[in-house]
């Protein structure tokens, strides 16, 4: 590419020099010829005037008296009536430039100079034009090389950037080259790199969220299956096994719902599956699911508060948020865990609290940030739970650090009077 840019630039310069150089040579040649003829004619007219003046003064016109008035580099022939012609200078050979002037008394003066005067002057002009052309070509070559480097090097760099994007390295380079068109391409590549980086980050985030969030329902499912195995030896095995199997099936359904929610969040799409649901049913479901785990740890899980509340959201997502809070209380908290429902304005609230040491004062609300954890965990659970709550139009907050009180706020479903009296 560099060679093509240099060759094209030099070709344009050479064409311009050839066209303008030839035009200048022709114009200058004609101007020099015209000037030579005008000079010769002027010399002839001047000498005629000198001869007339001397004749009028009664002086004799001879070769000696006219020597001082005749130019040394011209051939001059003076013709007087009744006298022999007077000649000064050497008659030029070959082509000449000649001018003739006559006076009022019959005198005539002829002035000649060799045409080589014009040729020499044209030759000097041509040398000057060639020198200027050579300097122009050299300057154009240097400029072409510089411009070729300025254009080719950024294109090579942009090609490397595109290759890096294709190989999976989405880091933007933020390089600019001072050429508007190339800078525009660099802007597009950097924007593409940032979009690819965000997409990769979203994919990694989805994988991390899925691996973390699937762990909680899988743990609960494992516990329920263990209960099935344990109760199979009891006399009431058929009924107990059926109940435990139903609970395990509910866990599997919730697990499927969690996967669908995570996939929806990874595409930054607002959930459209929000419905009105019985909040007590979801809370009691979590209490029943986690009661065996708490009983095995020598602790208790209870619920209280206003009954009969209905919220707007996705039941599976709400169950996942509450499961995350209950699991955190089991792993990091202490004593009895309480789930309490209440109403505030047009929202319903589910509070989860325990009797443990609470949240580290240094963390505070940063406990919802990703990778932030005070107990060497992944730091994803509360962050994902907050995202799920916000996707349903709610919010998850830390109301109190010690003892810890986490609150899930959801929109309250408004039930019309007609439905109540229905």
Task: Write out pLDDT tens, residues 211-240.
Answer: 666 666 666 776 766 666 666 556 655 555
DSSP state string for 222-254: HHHHHHHHHHTTSTTHHHHHHHHHHHHHHHHHH
Element of type H or E holding 146: helix 116-166
**pTM for the full model?**
0.45
Separation of alpha carbons 255 and 325, rounded Å: 16
Main-chain dihedrals φ then ψ at residue 267, nearest 5 degrees: -95, 10
Tens digits of residue pLDDT in 305-353: 999 999 999 888 899 899 999 998 998 899 999 999 999 999 999 999 9
pLDDT category, 301, cuts 50, 70, 90? very high
Q: Which string of b and e fits 37-70 if b means at least 16 CB within 10 Å? A: eebbbebbbebbebbbebbeeeeebeeeebeeeb
Average pLDDT over the chain reads 80
Is omega for the bond preceding 403 within 30 degrees of 0, making it cis?
Answer: yes
Yes or no: say if 76 and 88 are a contact pair by the CB < 8 Å rule. yes
Q: Is the dihedral of CA 176, 179, 182, 184 positive or negative?
A: positive
Non-local (6+) Cβ contacts of 5 within 8 A are 144, 147, 148, 151, 152
Query: Tokens at residue 280, please?
Result: 């007590």
What per-residue confidence (pLDDT) applies to 372?
Answer: 62
Yes or no: say if 412 and 312 are a contact pair by the CB < 8 Å rule. yes
Q: Is the pLDDT of residue 9 over 90?
A: no
Rounding to the nearest 10 degrees, give the CA dihedral for residues 38, 40, 45, 51.
170
What per-residue confidence (pLDDT) applies to 263?
Answer: 59
User: In this structure, what DSSP letter does residue 92 have?
Assistant: P
Which class is 2-138 in CATH? alpha beta
Domain boundaries, the chain: 2-138, 264-421
What per-residue confidence (pLDDT) applies to 212?
Answer: 64
Gyration radius (Cα) of the chain, Å: 53
Tens digits of residue pLDDT in 168-209: 667 777 777 777 877 788 788 788 877 877 777 777 676 666
- Helix, strand, coil: what percent of the chain each, to 5? 60, 15, 25
At 54, is the secondary structure helix, strand, or coil?
Answer: helix
Tens digits of residue pLDDT in 342-390: 999 999 999 999 998 888 877 766 788 876 655 555 456 788 888 888 8
Level-2 CATH architecture, domain 264-421: 2-Layer Sandwich (3.30)
Separation of alpha carbons 253 and 282, rounded Å: 13
């Amino acid at each position: 590419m560099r060679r093509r840019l240099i060759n094209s630039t030099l070709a344009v310069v050479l064409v311009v020099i050839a066209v303008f150089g030839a035009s200048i040579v022709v114009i200058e040649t004609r101007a020099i010829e015209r000037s030579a003829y005008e000079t010769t004619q002027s010399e002839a007219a001047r000498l005629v005037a000198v001869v007339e003046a001397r004749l009028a003064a009664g002086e004799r016109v001879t070769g000696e008296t006219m020597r001082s008035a005749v130019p040394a580099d011209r051939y001059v022939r003076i013709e007087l009536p009744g006298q022999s012609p007077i000649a000064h200078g050497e008659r030029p050979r070959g082509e000449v430039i000649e001018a003739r002037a006559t006076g009022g008394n019959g005198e005539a003066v002829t002035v000649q100079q060799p045409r080589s005067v014009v040729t020499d002057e044209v030759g000097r002009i041509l040398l000057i034009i060639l020198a200027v052309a050579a300097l122009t070509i050299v300057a154009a070559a240097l400029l072409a090389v510089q411009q070729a480097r300025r254009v080719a090097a950024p294109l090579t760099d942009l090609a490397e950037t595109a290759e890096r994007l294709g190989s999976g390295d989405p880091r933007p380079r933020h390089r600019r080259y001072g050429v508007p068109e190339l800078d525009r391409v660099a802007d597009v590549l950097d924007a593409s790199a940032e979009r690819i980086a965000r997409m990769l980050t979203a994919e990694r985030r989805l994988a991390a969220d899925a691996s973390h969030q699937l762990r909680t329902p899988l743990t609960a499912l494992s516990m329920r299956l263990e209960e099935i195995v344990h109760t199979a030896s009891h006399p009431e095995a058929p009924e107990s096994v059926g109940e435990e199997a139903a609970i395990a099936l509910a866990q599997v359904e919730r697990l499927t719902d969690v996967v669908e929610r995570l996939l929806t969040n990874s595409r930054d799409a607002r959930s459209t599956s929000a419905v009105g649901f019985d909040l007590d049913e979801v809370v009691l479901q979590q209490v029943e699911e986690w009661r065996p785990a708490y009983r095995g740890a020598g602790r208790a899980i209870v619920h209280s508060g206003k009954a009969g509340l209905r919220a707007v959201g996705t039941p599976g997502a709400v169950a996942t948020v509450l499961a995350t809070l209950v699991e955190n209380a089991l792993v990091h908290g202490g004593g009895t865990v309480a789930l309490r429902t209440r109403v505030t304005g047009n929202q319903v609230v589910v509070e989860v609290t325990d009797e443990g040491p609470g949240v580290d004062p240094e963390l505070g609300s940063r406990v919802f940030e990703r990778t932030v954890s005070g107990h060497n965990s992944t730091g994803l659970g509360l962050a994902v739970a907050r995202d799920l709550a916000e996707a349903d139009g709610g919010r998850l907050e830390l109301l109190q650090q010690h003892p810890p009180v986490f609150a899930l706020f959801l929109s309250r479903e408004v039930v019309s009077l007609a439905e109540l009296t229905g």
